[in-house]
Amino acid sequence: MAVAADVDAQRLPQHVAIIMDGNGRWAQCRGLPRTAGHRAGMETVRRVVRCADDWGIRVLTLFAFSTENWRRPVTEVAYLMRLPGEYLRSEMDELMARGIRIQMLGDRVGVPALTLRAVERGVVQTAANPGMVLNFAFNYGGRAELVRTVRSIAKEVKNGQLSPETIDEQTIADHLDTRGLPDPDLLIRTSGEQRLSNYLLWQLAYSELLFVPKFWPDFSEMDFEMAMREFQHRQRRFGGVSVSNNG
């Protein structure tokens, strides 16, 4: 899909983050098992990745699995853990053709070895790609990320590489899983819940928040376009008065 003519390509978000909520409920509403919702959700990931790349988005971050999701039934978790490998197997050719680079946010410790191997392979295979960064937040929690960040900074202080007086916001940004990436300009959460749910707590400080009352499997290219329009609207209304969307 091409960028619509009446959308200002100069005022698009650089970084879009999405909480892909409502997959289980989408399935339950249809009398299907929750796993069918996750499968349908993965189809939406395929479409939205294409769509975001076509719009020229520089970074797309998808909340795939939170540190809290381990509390779900073991059969559901086992099913979810196969999805990264499956996604990468089916999409790798297109990701390479588009020059998309995969990264993972979250704690690698605790991810099943087979799943981690699949993700790491995807990260390595696409590491030199020059295009859109596709972040999968996986075994991710915002507070846990901040704990890992503080630990790595503390280690550098202990080693004498860093002195406490020089620690500033940039130091923290440079130690997060998102180091080197701009903060999200726009967060989209589907399914109508209006919470952050421990997602990117530091990085979302200045982001526009958009809550879409649709289950993730029903989120379409048109919904993505509407999100882009809504973002531009907010920029126009506040442009020149408030800080830019990058803080």
Whether 69 is a known active-site residue: answer yes
Using CB under 6 A, which of the segments 25-33, 83-91, 147-155, 169-177 binds ligand V0D? Answer: 83-91
Whether 21 is a known active-site residue: answer yes
45 contacts ligand V0D (rule: CB under 6 A)? yes
Taking the CA atoms of 116, 149, 246 and 185 in sequence, report the sign of the dihedral they define: positive
Cβ pair 235, 171 in contact under 8 A? no
19 contacts ligand V0D (rule: CB under 6 A)? no
In angstroms, give the least distance from the CB of 113 to ligand V0D.
14
Specify the length of the chain in residues. Answer: 247
Instruction: Check 21, 53, 183, 185 and give the catalytic one.
Output: 21
Using CB under 6 A, which of the segments 79-87, 140-148, 203-211, 237-245 binds ligand V0D? Answer: 79-87
For ligand V0D, give the closer residue by CB, 14 or 69.
69
Q: How far is CA 44 from CA 27, 92, 144, 236, in A?
A: 14, 16, 28, 29
Cβ pair 218, 27 in contact under 8 A? no
| Number of neighbours of residue 91 by Cβ within 10 angstroms | 20
- Among 51, 60, 83, 187, the residue binding ligand V0D under the rule CB under 6 A is 83
140 contacts ligand V0D (rule: CB under 6 A)? no
122 contacts ligand V0D (rule: CB under 6 A)? yes
Q: How far is CA 10 from CA 52, 89, 210, in A?
A: 15, 34, 20
- Among 15, 34, 38, 175, the residue binding ligand V0D under the rule CB under 6 A is 38
Q: Strands, E, within the chain: which ranges?
A: 15-19, 59-66, 101-105, 133-140, 186-190, 208-212
103 contacts ligand V0D (rule: CB under 6 A)? no
For ligand V0D, give the closer residue by CB, 11 or 121.
121
- Among 65, 199, 224, 231, the residue binding ligand V0D under the rule CB under 6 A is 65
